[in-house]
Amino acid sequence: MRHAKKTFKIGRTGAHRRSMLSNMLKSLIENERITTTVVKAKELRRHADRMITLAKRDTLASRRDAIAKLQVAFNPLTPKEARDAKGGDKSSYSRDRLVVGKLFGELKDRFAGRHGGYTRIIRGGIRIGDSAPTCIIEYLQQ
């Protein structure tokens, strides 16, 4: 029996689903708004709200959990990139490092006084190619 085994499969294999959700989470955190299908947005909402909850805890363990969920690859910086980053040039950082910084900085502070419900799904139209219902998922502006 599958009691308490909630996994919404979205018609993909496990590895594909994890990669897709981590990429969508990175895009959502970075841009704060993405357009996708309704089915993917409903599944993404669960994970996006959990990421904010992890950020609000702000412990080393929660930071590591978020990095694992986002599948962040922390490649070491070369000495030149480290000098540039120390001087304030953020272009040498990878996109993943900036996403984790934004999650534990700006988004954590924005939702500090809120208990859940950090995202909004706005229904859109029908996609032309396959008639899939689309929507916009975004973080609230508090």
Report pLDDT digits (tens) over 5-41. Answer: 877 888 889 899 999 999 999 999 999 999 999 999 9
Question: Vertex 35, ends 123 and 63: CA angle to 5°?
Answer: 115
Query: In the predicted model, what is the mean pLDDT of residues 71-100?
Result: 79
Query: Strands of 119-126's sheet, edge to edge?
Result: 33-37, 133-139, 119-126
pTM (predicted TM-score): 0.85
Q: How far apart are CA 30 and CA 139, in angstroms?
A: 11
Q: How far apart are CA 97 and CA 133, in angstroms?
A: 33
The per-residue pLDDT for 80 is 83
Q: Which domains does the chain have, with CATH numbers?
A: 14-139 (3.90.1030.10)
Q: How far apart are CA 96 and CA 142, in angstroms?
A: 25
Chain-centroid distance, C-alpha 79? 29
